Amino acid sequence: MNIILLGPPGAGKGTQAQKLVDSRNMIQLSTGDMLREAKTSGTEMGKMVAAVMDRGDLVTDEIVIGLIREKLEAGGATGGFIFDGFPRTLAQADALGDLLTEMGQTLDDVVELQVNDEVLVERILGRAAEAVAAGGTARADDNEESLKTRLMAYYKQTSPLIGYYYAKGQLQSVDGLDTMDGVASSISDVLS
Ligand code: AMP
Protein backbone atom coordinates (compact mmCIF):
# COMPACT_ATOMS: atom_id res chain seq x y z
CA MET A 1 0.00 0.00 0.00
CA ASN A 2 1.39 3.41 -0.99
CA ILE A 3 -0.09 6.55 0.53
CA ILE A 4 0.43 10.30 0.60
CA LEU A 5 0.00 12.39 3.73
CA LEU A 6 -1.12 15.82 2.58
CA GLY A 7 -1.42 18.95 4.68
CA PRO A 8 0.18 22.28 5.55
CA PRO A 9 3.36 22.61 7.62
CA GLY A 10 2.62 21.66 11.23
CA ALA A 11 -0.41 19.51 10.36
CA GLY A 12 1.25 16.44 11.88
CA LYS A 13 2.34 14.59 8.72
CA GLY A 14 5.70 13.54 10.19
CA THR A 15 4.16 12.32 13.46
CA GLN A 16 1.48 10.31 11.72
CA ALA A 17 3.94 8.90 9.19
CA GLN A 18 6.05 7.62 12.08
CA LYS A 19 3.01 5.92 13.61
CA LEU A 20 2.28 4.17 10.31
CA VAL A 21 5.90 3.06 10.06
CA ASP A 22 5.60 1.48 13.51
CA SER A 23 2.18 -0.08 13.06
CA ARG A 24 2.27 -1.16 9.41
CA ASN A 25 5.91 -1.70 8.59
CA MET A 26 5.78 1.00 5.93
CA ILE A 27 8.68 3.19 4.78
CA GLN A 28 8.45 6.94 5.33
CA LEU A 29 9.74 9.06 2.48
CA SER A 30 10.03 12.64 3.72
CA THR A 31 11.59 14.97 1.15
CA GLY A 32 12.02 17.56 3.94
CA ASP A 33 14.16 15.08 5.94
CA MET A 34 16.15 14.13 2.84
CA LEU A 35 16.82 17.79 2.03
CA ARG A 36 17.79 18.62 5.64
CA GLU A 37 20.18 15.67 5.58
CA ALA A 38 21.77 16.96 2.36
CA LYS A 39 22.05 20.39 3.95
CA THR A 40 23.70 19.05 7.12
CA SER A 41 26.13 16.82 5.30
CA GLY A 42 27.08 19.73 3.07
CA THR A 43 26.61 18.07 -0.33
CA GLU A 44 26.53 20.29 -3.44
CA MET A 45 22.77 19.84 -3.59
CA GLY A 46 22.50 20.63 0.12
CA LYS A 47 24.35 23.90 -0.38
CA MET A 48 22.13 24.74 -3.32
CA VAL A 49 18.88 24.31 -1.40
CA ALA A 50 19.90 25.71 2.00
CA ALA A 51 18.84 29.31 1.50
CA VAL A 52 15.58 28.38 -0.25
CA MET A 53 14.61 26.05 2.60
CA ASP A 54 15.53 28.47 5.38
CA ARG A 55 13.38 31.10 3.69
CA GLY A 56 10.46 28.68 3.49
CA ASP A 57 10.17 28.48 -0.28
CA LEU A 58 9.93 25.24 -2.24
CA VAL A 59 13.03 23.74 -3.82
CA THR A 60 12.78 22.80 -7.51
CA ASP A 61 10.58 19.94 -8.69
CA GLU A 62 13.60 18.43 -10.42
CA ILE A 63 15.53 18.04 -7.16
CA VAL A 64 12.74 16.48 -5.10
CA ILE A 65 11.53 14.22 -7.91
CA GLY A 66 15.14 13.00 -8.27
CA LEU A 67 15.31 12.23 -4.54
CA ILE A 68 12.05 10.28 -4.61
CA ARG A 69 13.04 8.39 -7.75
CA GLU A 70 16.27 7.22 -6.06
CA LYS A 71 14.40 5.97 -2.99
CA LEU A 72 11.71 4.21 -5.00
CA GLU A 73 14.28 2.51 -7.17
CA ALA A 74 16.14 1.34 -4.06
CA GLY A 75 12.85 -0.37 -3.14
CA GLY A 76 12.56 -2.59 -0.09
CA ALA A 77 9.18 -1.44 1.15
CA THR A 78 7.42 -4.41 2.59
CA GLY A 79 4.37 -2.53 3.79
CA GLY A 80 4.61 0.20 1.14
CA PHE A 81 5.64 3.85 1.06
CA ILE A 82 4.29 6.84 2.95
CA PHE A 83 4.98 10.05 1.06
CA ASP A 84 5.37 12.80 3.65
CA GLY A 85 5.76 16.33 2.31
CA PHE A 86 5.79 15.08 -1.27
CA PRO A 87 4.24 15.83 -3.73
CA ARG A 88 3.93 19.57 -3.11
CA THR A 89 3.16 20.74 -6.66
CA LEU A 90 1.02 19.43 -9.51
CA ALA A 91 4.18 18.63 -11.50
CA GLN A 92 5.43 16.52 -8.59
CA ALA A 93 2.07 14.76 -8.36
CA ASP A 94 2.18 13.89 -12.08
CA ALA A 95 5.78 12.71 -11.75
CA LEU A 96 4.91 10.49 -8.78
CA GLY A 97 2.05 8.93 -10.74
CA ASP A 98 4.43 8.19 -13.63
CA LEU A 99 7.13 6.77 -11.35
CA LEU A 100 4.70 4.43 -9.62
CA THR A 101 3.25 3.29 -12.94
CA GLU A 102 6.77 2.63 -14.27
CA MET A 103 7.39 0.42 -11.26
CA GLY A 104 4.09 -1.40 -11.61
CA GLN A 105 2.84 0.10 -8.36
CA THR A 106 -0.22 2.10 -7.43
CA LEU A 107 -1.08 5.01 -5.20
CA ASP A 108 -3.74 3.73 -2.85
CA ASP A 109 -4.83 6.70 -0.75
CA VAL A 110 -4.16 10.37 -0.25
CA VAL A 111 -4.92 11.40 3.31
CA GLU A 112 -5.47 15.10 3.87
CA LEU A 113 -4.90 16.27 7.45
CA GLN A 114 -7.27 19.17 8.01
CA VAL A 115 -6.21 21.83 10.53
CA ASN A 116 -6.60 25.56 10.89
CA ASP A 117 -3.90 28.16 10.42
CA GLU A 118 -3.92 29.42 13.98
CA VAL A 119 -3.14 25.93 15.27
CA LEU A 120 -0.35 25.52 12.74
CA VAL A 121 1.38 28.70 13.80
CA GLU A 122 1.05 27.73 17.48
CA ARG A 123 2.37 24.21 16.85
CA ILE A 124 5.34 25.29 14.81
CA LEU A 125 6.41 28.13 17.05
CA GLY A 126 5.83 25.78 20.02
CA ARG A 127 8.03 23.14 18.37
CA ALA A 128 10.80 25.75 17.96
CA ALA A 129 10.49 26.90 21.59
CA GLU A 130 10.59 23.29 22.85
CA ALA A 131 13.72 22.52 20.85
CA VAL A 132 15.49 25.53 22.31
CA ALA A 133 14.27 24.77 25.86
CA ALA A 134 15.67 21.25 25.51
CA GLY A 135 19.08 22.75 24.81
CA GLY A 136 18.96 22.15 21.06
CA THR A 137 18.37 24.45 18.12
CA ALA A 138 15.10 25.04 16.35
CA ARG A 139 14.71 24.16 12.68
CA ALA A 140 16.06 27.07 10.65
CA ASP A 141 12.64 27.50 9.03
CA ASP A 142 10.59 27.30 12.26
CA ASN A 143 10.36 31.07 12.74
CA GLU A 144 7.51 33.45 12.09
CA GLU A 145 8.89 34.92 8.87
CA SER A 146 9.68 31.58 7.18
CA LEU A 147 6.45 30.14 8.45
CA LYS A 148 4.47 32.79 6.56
CA THR A 149 6.36 31.88 3.39
CA ARG A 150 5.79 28.15 4.00
CA LEU A 151 2.07 28.69 4.50
CA MET A 152 1.86 30.80 1.37
CA ALA A 153 3.74 28.12 -0.59
CA TYR A 154 1.24 25.57 0.72
CA TYR A 155 -1.81 27.55 -0.31
CA LYS A 156 -0.45 28.62 -3.69
CA GLN A 157 1.39 25.50 -4.82
CA THR A 158 0.30 22.50 -2.75
CA SER A 159 -3.38 22.96 -1.89
CA PRO A 160 -4.45 22.46 -5.56
CA LEU A 161 -3.46 18.82 -4.97
CA ILE A 162 -6.57 18.42 -2.83
CA GLY A 163 -8.75 18.99 -5.89
CA TYR A 164 -6.42 16.95 -8.08
CA TYR A 165 -6.67 13.83 -5.91
CA TYR A 166 -10.36 14.37 -5.20
CA ALA A 167 -10.99 14.31 -8.93
CA LYS A 168 -9.02 11.08 -9.17
CA GLY A 169 -11.20 9.58 -6.42
CA GLN A 170 -8.23 9.09 -4.11
CA LEU A 171 -8.75 11.78 -1.49
CA GLN A 172 -9.60 10.98 2.12
CA SER A 173 -9.82 13.83 4.64
CA VAL A 174 -9.39 13.50 8.39
CA ASP A 175 -9.60 15.95 11.27
CA GLY A 176 -6.01 16.80 12.11
CA LEU A 177 -7.02 18.73 15.24
CA ASP A 178 -7.82 15.59 17.22
CA THR A 179 -5.25 14.03 19.60
CA MET A 180 -2.28 12.21 17.99
CA ASP A 181 -3.89 8.84 18.67
CA GLY A 182 -7.26 10.12 17.52
CA VAL A 183 -5.80 11.25 14.20
CA ALA A 184 -3.95 7.93 13.84
CA SER A 185 -7.16 6.01 14.31
CA SER A 186 -9.05 8.22 11.82
CA ILE A 187 -6.28 7.54 9.31
CA SER A 188 -6.57 3.80 9.89
CA ASP A 189 -10.31 4.02 9.32
CA VAL A 190 -9.99 5.70 5.93
CA LEU A 191 -7.16 3.61 4.48
CA SER A 192 -8.42 1.22 1.86
P1 AMP B 1 9.11 19.82 5.49
O2 AMP B 1 10.04 19.17 6.44
O3 AMP B 1 8.28 18.86 4.71
O4 AMP B 1 8.29 20.91 6.12
O5 AMP B 1 10.03 20.54 4.38
C6 AMP B 1 10.96 21.54 4.73
C7 AMP B 1 11.37 22.35 3.50
O8 AMP B 1 11.99 21.49 2.53
C9 AMP B 1 10.22 22.99 2.73
O10 AMP B 1 9.83 24.23 3.29
C11 AMP B 1 10.84 23.15 1.35
O12 AMP B 1 11.78 24.21 1.32
C13 AMP B 1 11.62 21.86 1.20
N14 AMP B 1 10.78 20.77 0.66
C15 AMP B 1 10.42 19.62 1.29
N16 AMP B 1 9.69 18.84 0.48
C17 AMP B 1 9.56 19.52 -0.69
C18 AMP B 1 8.90 19.25 -1.93
N19 AMP B 1 8.20 18.13 -2.11
N20 AMP B 1 9.00 20.19 -2.91
C21 AMP B 1 9.71 21.31 -2.75
N22 AMP B 1 10.34 21.65 -1.61
C23 AMP B 1 10.28 20.76 -0.59
Res 178: pLDDT: 96
Check if 7 has its Cβ closer than 6 Å to any atom of ligand 1. no
pLDDT of residue 77: 61
Distance of alpha carbon 172 from alpha carbon 160, whole angstroms: 15
pLDDT of 75 = 76
CA nearest ligand 1 atom 15, residue:
32
> Ligand 1 centre from 59 Cα, in Å?
7
Per-residue pLDDT of the chain (192 residues; tens, 9 = 90+): 999 999 999 999 999 999 999 999 999 999 999 999 999 999 999 999 999 999 999 999 999 999 999 999 987 767 899 999 999 999 999 999 999 999 999 999 999 999 998 989 898 999 999 999 999 999 999 999 999 999 999 999 999 999 999 999 999 999 999 999 999 999 999 997
> For residue 58, how far is its CA from the centre of ligand 1 (angstroms)?
6
What's the CA-to-centroid distance between 101 and ligand 1, angstroms?
24
Ligand 1: which atom is nearest the Cα of residue 153?
A: 10
Ligand 1 atom at minimal distance to the Cα of residue 89: 20
Q: Is the CB of 124 under 6 A from ligand 1?
A: no
Transcribe the chain into DSSP letters: --EEEE--TTSSHHHHHHHHHHHH--EEEEHHHHHHHHHHHT-HHHHHHHHHHHHTPPPPHHHHHHHHHHHHHH---SS-EEEES---SHHHHHHHHHHHHHTT----EEEEEE--HHHHHHHHHHHHHHHHHTTS---TT-SHHHHHHHHHHIIIIITHHHHHHHHTT-EEEEETTS-HHHHHHHHHHH--
Catalytic residues: 13, 88, 127, 139, 150
Cβ–ligand 1 distance for 142 under 6 Å, the answer no
Ligand 1 proximity of 56 Cβ (cutoff 6 Å): yes
